[in-house]
Structure 1
């Protein structure tokens, strides 16, 4: 078994290198769109090779552009040409045979004086925990370079071998706003993750700063602040997901169960004051972080039907509505509301029907 993930690395190109990458990214997208247009007109896949393309790109990048164009054309043909995708975001892609890396640089062929020259570009490959470089020791796939908010980012796909854990120990995880996550094992070991109050406080501060900057019409400052807030939210999701997976490892869990989040914004418990947080907090991203980190450890992730998980009594199965943060049942059962949700998620029907026995 294996899993493919994307490792993101910040690039620090010189001004000259940044200018070349910018031109190549635009040329790459233009080449793909041109090839797709030709294939749609002819109603068949192209037989062109890198020699047939006039684009100012290294031959390896041209070949990758042809491959990507064929992939886009397949989507257009599948829709019977009703939808023809047009790529807009500048990006440039190299396959795994045409770049190399070390502790400080990523080297790939770029166009210098109209010639393809393999050039090292400075990169922050090593973070504080050596996490990135440890991941990059596995099988590498394509390298994508793009610019986001003025910063250059390298995205490398990495295939990591995994082995699925044996056993049937199940853990339910309930995601929410006031309590970002609650986990319960089938041995009744419980833990609360994250701090919802702190998250809301931080986001109120960002909102207040944006309001002041808006009155001063400082749009660039607002954009930078938005990026900062998104980085904060993403960092919280990374930390919480890592803690959840570590908790699962500590208790020899083989299956983590989460709610299917398709309709969470319609079904989640909230009030008017929490409405903005509900619609801007990425439950999906947190669940994806939990899934990919769990899979790397050989832990399977299953998604369950969320219906009545927070209302059903785990002891007698009667349905009751929780009062504030406490859940009380006539049978005498009493727990934190989110804890009840996590307990029921352990045994709720799995969406695809392929569940481990719990």
Structure 2
């Protein structure tokens, strides 16, 4: 079993290097679009090499442009050429034999004054958690240089081989707003993750600031603030998902079960005052982070039917509605309602696992 991830690395190119990237990126997507157009006109996959491609690009990059064009052509062919994808966002790609890196930079061939030369670009190769170094030790794929939020980014594809764990230990995870996540493992061991109160406070601060900036008519600053909020939310989801998977490993879990995300915005337990947070938090992203981090550890992720998981008593099976954060049943069972949800998720019916965005 293997999984392919993308490692994002921030670059610090000089002004001259930025100009080179911009020119090569524009040339690259124009070349890909031209090759796709030729293939569509011929209604067949053309057998091309770098010698057939006329473009101000290194041979290795021309070959990658051909591969990208073939991928786009296949997508168009599946739709009987009714829709032909057209690349717009500039980027450039190198295969894994044409770039190298150390702790400070990434080097790859570029075009400088019409000639091919290898350029070393300063890069943030080592992140605070040393996660990049860990991932880049695995099998490397293509390198893509692109711009995101006005910053140059190197994206390296990494393929990691994993061995799926065997066993019957299941971890149930309940996702929410007031409590971002609750997990219940074998033997009833329970752990809460994240700080919903803090998340709500920070998001309220972002909303207040946006309102102030809107009154001052500063759309560019608002956009920058939105990007900052998204980065903050993504960081929170990364940290919570990592802790959940670590908890699963500690309890020798082989399967993590989550609620299927379909209609979670309609069924999530919340009040009117939490609606703004509910509709701006990506439950799907957190679930995706849990899934790919779990897969790296060989832990399977399954989705279950969320019906009545928060209302069914784990002890006697009766349905009751929780009052505030406490679930109480006539049989004497009492727990935090999110813990009840996680307990029931462990044993709920498994569905297909294909879950739309939330």
TM-score, length basis structure 1: 0.95
Instruction: Report deviation, 1:16.
Output: 0.7
Higher mean C-alpha deviation, range 77-86 or range 137-146: 77-86
1:154 shift after superposition: 0.8
Distance, in Å, in 1 between the alignment partners of 2:15 and 2:149 is: 16
Match in the other structure for 1:175? 175
Name the residue aligned to 1:125: 125
* Residue 3 (structure 2) pairs with residue 3 (structure 1): yes
Shift in Å, 1:37: 2.0
CA contact (8 A) 1:186 1:346 kept: no
The answer as to 2:327 corresponding to 1:327 is yes
Task: Give SS of 1:346's match.
Answer: helix
Within 5 A, what are the aligned runs for 1:27-38?
27-38=27-38
* Deviations 1:157-197 (CA, angstroms, capped at 9, x unpaired): 11122222222111100111111000001310001100111
Aligned residues of 1:173 and 1:182 also touching (Cα < 8 A): yes
- Structure 1 residue 330, shift from structure 2 partner: 2.4
Partners of 2:186 and 2:251 within 8 A in 1: no
In 1, the alpha carbon distance for the partners of 2:203 and 2:63 equals 45
Distance 1:319 1:228 in 2: 42
SS for the counterpart of 1:280 is coil
SS, match of residue 214 in structure 1: helix
Q: What is the alpha-carbon distance in structure 2 between the residues aligned to residue 325 and residue 52 of structure 1?
A: 67
Contiguous gaps of at least 5 residues in structure 1: 354-358
Q: Report deviation, 1:329.
A: 2.0
**1:227 paired residue number:** 227
Show the 5 A alignment for 1:224-303. Answer: 224-303=224-303
Partner of 1:350: 350
Native 8 Å contact 1:11 1:153 kept in 2: yes
Separation in structure 2 between the aligned mates of residue 351 and residue 117 of structure 1, nearest angstrom? 53
Question: Mean Cα displacement is larger for which, 176-185 or 210-219?
Answer: 210-219
- What residue number does 2:356 align with? none
2:76 is matched with 76
The count of aligned residue pairs is: 353
What residue in structure 2 maps to residue 26 of structure 1? Answer: 26
Counterpart for residue 356 of structure 1: none
Q: Secondary structure at the match of 2:34?
A: helix
Q: CA deviation at 1:219?
A: 2.2
Counterparts of 1:342 and 1:210 in 2: how far apart (Å)? Answer: 36
Distance 1:113 1:123 in 2: 24
1:100-139 to structure 2, matched below 5 A, reads: 100-139=100-139
Q: Structure 2: where are the runs of 5+ without partners?
A: 354-358
Q: How big is each residue's C-alpha offset from its partner over 1:284-325, in whole Å with a ceiling of 9 and x where there is no partner? A: 111111111112222221111212211222122222222222
On the 8 A contact 2:325/2:336 being kept in 1, the answer is yes
User: Which residue of 2 is the match for residue 194 of structure 1?
Assistant: 194
Q: Which moved more, 1:150-159 or 1:323-332?
A: 323-332
Q: Deviations over 1:132-165 (max 9, x none)?
A: 1121111100111110111011111111222222
Partner of 1:336: 336
> 1:64 Cα shift?
0.8
Whether 1:96 aligns to 2:101 is no
Kept after mapping to 1: 8 A contact 2:237/2:289 = yes
After the TM superposition, list the runs of 4 or more consecutive aligned residues in structure 1 that deviate by more than 3 angstroms: none
How far is the alpha carbon of 1:97 from its aligned partner? Answer: 0.8
Q: Offset at 1:90?
A: 1.2
> How far apart, CA to CA, are the structure 2 residues paired with 1:23 and 1:331?
71
Alpha-carbon distance, 1:270 to partner: 2.5
State the alpha-carbon separation in 1 of the partners of residues 67 and 144 from structure 2: 14
Quote the residue 2:87 is aligned against: 87
Query: What is the TM-score normalised by the length of structure 2?
Result: 0.95
